[in-house]
Amino acid sequence: MNFRKTQISVVMCVKNREKEIERALRSVKKQKGVLEIIVVDGNSTDRTIEIARKYADKIYSDNGKGLAYARQLGAEKAKGEYIAYIDSDTELPKENLLIRMVEEMEKNNWVAIHAQLINPRKNKTIWEYCEDMHLKTKFNEPGERRYIGTIVCVVKRNIVLKYRFDPFMKYAAEDTEFWSRVGKEHKFGVSKEVAFHYHRASFKDFVKQRIWYGKGNARAMVKHKAWKLLLVPFGIMVYGIFQIFKCRKCIKCIPYYLVWSIALMYGTIVGLFEIWKEK
């Protein structure tokens, strides 16, 4: 495949990420095959925009409408044939990473592809260690998937324009809901390529993230009337117990799965009340 510099548009959706965005954008700037870097900001109050201006070709605001709206806005403003959604807490270790992902995607006749994720930090907290273990056992294996994320993901732009991220999904799970619709007609999967992901390192940040996931879970539940999603927090705990019996190294992850399930359930309940108030 002969890649021109006009094929990949990088879209990074951010909010108050001054501590990590420069590392991510610097690595994106080195990527071959990238036409443009688009940053969509969620009303940041720190130095995120100031830092983004040094690297981004275009900067837009989602006006506080949430993550799904931001992802869709970035795709609509893009010019490339492919959209690379790159989160601000990542780093692309190889300059040809995105090109190789696209080549692999086209070879498999997929419409999207996600990189495997590892945390490059040497001295990891328990939360980072267990996130790495979870990804190793649950995600980091090349092949077709029913769901992928949008942490380091390349997708054909026409797919995003057709299926669209739903602005109702303004928290996390916006990507899972999107892929659930795309997957009914198309295939996608996990790449052989690996990217760096700097997981939430502190208890506070880990809990905050999982509550955010729970709020997204609530919106997917209401949109699709999928009340079985209420069982997801319990499923996380059951999966954690299964892994602990299966893997000795996973024993230390008991707090990780316990806190995840509790925070997810709390976020789901809060999210349901929020939706009820909106109505």
118-157: string of b/e by CB count within 10 Å (b at 16+)?
Answer: bbeeeeebebbbbbbbbbbeeeeeeeebeebbbbbbbbbb
- CA 267 to mean position of chain CA atoms: 18
Cα separations in angstroms, 162 against 166, 175, 233: 12, 15, 31
Backbone phi, psi, residue 135, to 5°: -65, -40
Token code pair at residue 185: 């007609």
The tens-digit pLDDT sequence of the chain (279 residues) is 555 544 999 999 999 999 999 999 999 999 999 999 999 999 999 999 999 999 999 999 999 999 999 999 999 999 999 999 999 999 999 999 999 999 999 999 999 999 999 999 999 999 999 999 999 888 999 999 999 999 999 999 999 999 999 999 999 999 999 999 999 999 999 999 999 999 999 999 999 999 999 999 999 999 999 999 999 999 999 988 887 777 777 788 999 999 999 999 999 999 999 999 987
Beta bridge partners of 153: 85, 114
- pTM for this structure? 0.94
Cα(first)–Cα(last) distance of the chain, in Å?
50
- At residue 187, the pLDDT reads 98
Give the residue carrying structure tokens 């990590």.
Answer: 20
Taking a C-beta distance cutoff of 8 angstroms, is the pair 131, 224 a contact? no
Beta bridge partners of 11: 38, 85
d(CA 160, CA 175): 11
Domains and CATH numbers, the chain: 8-197 (3.90.550.10), 203-278 (no CATH)
Q: What is the CA radius of gyration of the chain?
A: 18
Taking a C-beta distance cutoff of 8 angstroms, is the pair 31, 90 a contact? no
- At residue 2, the pLDDT reads 53
- At residue 123, the pLDDT reads 92
Q: Which helix (H) or strand (E) holds 101?
A: helix 97-107
- At residue 279, the pLDDT reads 74
What torsion do the CA atoms of 21, 24, 30, 36 make, to the nearest 10 degrees? -60
Cα separations in angstroms, 125 against 110, 181, 202, 239: 36, 36, 7, 21
